[in-house]
Amino acid sequence: MSYLPVPQILYWNCVLGKKAEIEKLSKSFDIIFLAETCIKVNHDFRIRGFDCLRMDANMADIRGMIVLIRNPIIYSFLDLSSMIDCSFEALGIKIPFNNSHLFLIGVYRHSNVRVSNFAISALTSFVADHHFSILLGDFNAHHPMWGGTRSNRVGRALVECINEQHLVVLNPPSSPTYLSFFPYYTSTINLIIASPHISSFCEALVLPDLHGSEVRVNCLVKTTSVFSYKIKLSKTQWEEGVAPTPVGVIGGVQSSRDQSGSPREEVKHYLINNSKIISQTVNSIPSDDPITQYNTFLALIAVSYERFSPLKPPLHTRSSRSTPSFRGPPPAPWWTPDCTEAIRNRGSALRVFKHNPSLDNYIYYRSVVSQSYKILRRTKRAGWKAHPHMLLTIYRSRLRASIEYSAHIFGTMTNERTRALQVIQNHALRLCFGYCVSTPLNVVHAEAMELFLPLRFHLFASRYFLKISSVTDHPVVLKLYELCDLAAGMNNMNYLHAHFPAALLFQQMQIFRNIVDRSYTLPNFRHSFSSSFISCSYSSLSTPSLETLDHLPNPCAQAAFDQEFSHLTAVSTVFYTVGSKVDHSTHVGAAVLIPQLQGELMYKLSSYTSIFSAEAFAIYNAITTAIDPQLSKAMIVTDSRSVLEAIKGTCIRTNNYLILLIKARLEEAENEGTCIQFI
């Protein structure tokens, strides 16, 4: 069986939302145990370059666990179902290691489920029976043996099994894996238990989880090989200090590279002269800590070589000579110098923690992160005050529109749902204007010019009831009358008050019934049948043939036009109308010119008005102006043939209400004795 170097192993209590962090960690580790993943069966979870063994979460108190094995590590699955009970979740694998097999078991114990001594004994016995085996996971076990301040039943049972099986706990001292801020205390619940044969070859490290929450800190546990010390050398250092010295013959005399002055010889003499000091330093370390002795010995050798080896050549790259650039996207409009200072402090705290990953530095880093988050959030909220109406427009179009849907039916009821909607509106208005929680609600709504939702719902219901009451024999009005009469006849008006208060509001509004104008159509479309079917004709100037125009000079053409036009408008008051758009349809206007009366009418219309509507609006105002002075005959000149065709026909294909208004005005002019013609 081939030899496989000791893999880098990671155990982490995480959730599925941290997939991006898992992908980053996968670059540094070979085998990753993930507990409390909370992933379901239908979730596709993959990491590039890794095989995945899963225990999916379900409703039976199973949090889920995953094992990621880097390709091309050969592994086999361990069946642990006979060793554990419902209080444990466990996954195990077997991989080739040093002409044997390495057994790795990751476990997670539910803290709210009572555990049996059989499960703990079975797991520890399996580790003791196999020479190369490691058991790691979250046991939720407290005991002073691994740095806890208290002990529980699971911790005492686990200590008893460890002592009986002569197992080794690899957790380093003073390295808690659980951190609580409220109240503040630390404990060790993630453990690494190894068999005696492999414990001396391994080193365990506890790394804080920077991606965890502020209340609980999940920890990373890394298992590495102790005997993997490396001295990194550059190409120049290797050639001058380690590589064999070239030997040659120059002029019949054997020469070599300054044997006494080479870095290799200097290191050799230094180690010989300081061998006693190195030996005393290593022997001063207790014999029960061989890992520290080994690391100290190799560190002294590395220092001796670095002392005499040539320095690495300086980098002469373009990036090293150039001034660092801070180009990037522009800051947000609400960004302030306080935000820049907060980000700078957060980066400094992170660098301090990476340089010295102690518990105090970690707590300091988390406090700086929390403070910077508060500064950014407060500044961002205050920054939106410069444009509160923009957020208010978003609220009215997206949120309020959803709240007010069918509000005249259900909104008049006072219950928990309407109160919850009111809370949503209050929170949205505070965000729009940046108000604090202590700001009175009447001030917030007055500044936003928004009604409270119950008042707004009553307003909508009142408008709806007035609208349907204006229509004669509206079916909803008839049903509401029947409902109110039925409830009054059965003396059960309280039922309406509790389940349908909108009917009571309808009953209260019946005092306005006699003054409400009721009709079958809207007031703007209330015209006689004759005006709906009225038809008018228009005259067009006669157009000469092309052959005549070719032989007719321009002055003669103008004279022919003037003669024709004066013949049509001989005894009439002429109205010239026009409607147009300019500047890419941003400005729309209509105008009427009356030279004989020395009058001009100009109108500015909405930007979304079409040219057809602008022309129709100008013609409508020209007809209205001709009726008021009681002119006997009026001639309206327009260049919009489409509007004239719409007035001429009996079927309004454009569905434009201005055509109906024009026809009603034409009927009114005919009744007033004003003859109106079009050109």
Task: Give the three-class secondary structure for 88.
Answer: strand
Give the pLDDT confidence of 278-309 residue by residue, as tens digits. 888 888 888 767 767 777 887 787 776 666 65
What's the whole-number mean pLDDT along residues 322-344?
A: 71
Question: Across-strand partners of 9?
Answer: 31, 223
User: What phi and psi values does residue 599 have, to the nearest 5 degrees?
Assistant: -125, 145
pLDDT of 327 reads 53
Strand (E) or helix (H) holding 191 = strand 190-194
Model confidence band, residue 542 (pLDDT cutoffs 50, 70, 90): low
pLDDT of 218 reads 38
For 234, half-sphere exposure in the C-beta direction (CA atoms, 13 angstrom radius) is 10
Give the pLDDT confidence of 213-228 residue by residue, as tens digits. 333 333 444 444 444 4
For residue 523, what are its two tokens?
Answer: 């007031």
Alpha helices in 309-387 (DSSP H): 318-321, 337-355, 359-383
Task: Give the three-class secondary structure for 108.
Answer: strand
Residue 105 pLDDT exceeds 90: yes
Give the pLDDT confidence of 127-186 residue by residue, as tens digits. 999 888 999 988 888 888 887 778 888 999 999 999 898 898 888 877 788 776 556 677
What's the whole-number mean pLDDT along residues 92-121?
A: 87
pLDDT of 94 reads 92
Cα dihedral 209, 212, 218, 219, rounded to 10, equals: 0
pLDDT of 464 reads 84
What's the whole-number mean pLDDT along residues 377-389?
A: 69
Taking the CB of residue 278, how many other CB atoms lie within 10 A of it? Answer: 15
Strands 9-13 and 31-35: what pairing? parallel
pLDDT of 3 reads 43
Model confidence band, residue 320 (pLDDT cutoffs 50, 70, 90): very low
DSSP string, 371-429: HHHHHHHHHHHHHGGGSHHHHHHHIIIIIIHHHTTTHHHHTTS-SHHHHHHHHHHHHHH
**Sign of the dihedral through C-alpha 94, 95, 100, 106:** negative
What's the whole-number mean pLDDT along residues 235-262?
A: 47
Strand order in the sheet with 100-109: 76-78, 88-97, 100-109, 133-138, 190-194, 168-169
Give the pLDDT confidence of 543-599 residue by residue, as tens digits. 555 555 555 566 666 677 777 777 777 778 889 999 988 766 678 889 999 888 888
Model confidence band, residue 104 (pLDDT cutoffs 50, 70, 90): very high
pLDDT of 556 reads 66
pLDDT of 135 reads 92
Residue 75 vs residue 183, higher pLDDT: 75
The C-alpha angle with vertex 566 and arms to 560 and 568, in degrees rounded to 5, equals 105
- Tell me which of 204-208, 213-217, 364-368 is least confident: 213-217
What's the whole-number mean pLDDT along residues 503-525?
A: 68
pLDDT of 330 reads 63
pLDDT of 231 reads 61
pLDDT of 278 reads 84
What's the whole-number mean pLDDT along residues 388-400?
A: 80
Contact 621, 601 (CB under 8 A): yes
- Tell me which of 24-38, 107-121, 225-239 is least confident: 225-239
Give the pLDDT confidence of 451-467 residue by residue, as tens digits. 888 888 888 888 888 77
- Tell me which of 113-122, 413-422, 592-601 is least confident: 413-422
The mean of the pLDDT values for the chain is 77
What percentage of the chain reaches a pLDDT higher than 70? 75
Cα–Cα distance, 592 to 617 (Å, whole number): 10
- Tell me which of 36-50, 97-111, 156-170, 321-335 is least confident: 321-335
pTM summary value = 0.39
pLDDT of 217 reads 34
Residue 333 vs residue 660, higher pLDDT: 660
What's the whole-number mean pLDDT along residues 390-419?
A: 78
Taking the CB of residue 392, how many other CB atoms lie within 10 A of it? Answer: 20
What's the whole-number mean pLDDT along residues 177-203?
A: 78
Residue 246 pLDDT exceeds 50: no
pLDDT of 251 reads 37
For residue 233, what are its two tokens?
Answer: 């050398």
pLDDT of 216 reads 33
Contacts of 495 (CB under 8 A, 6+ apart): 487
pLDDT of 229 reads 53
For 456, half-sphere exposure in the C-beta direction (CA atoms, 13 angstrom radius) is 17
Cα–Cα distance, 123 to 77 (Å, whole number): 16
Residue 496 pLDDT exceeds 90: no
Taking the CB of residue 38, how many other CB atoms lie within 10 A of it? Answer: 14
Residue 619 vs residue 360, higher pLDDT: 619
Cα–Cα distance, 34 to 28 (Å, whole number): 15
Task: Give the three-class secondary structure for 73.
Answer: coil
What's the whole-number mean pLDDT along residues 505-518?
A: 72
pLDDT of 534 reads 59
Residue 93 pLDDT exceeds 90: yes
pLDDT of 221 reads 44
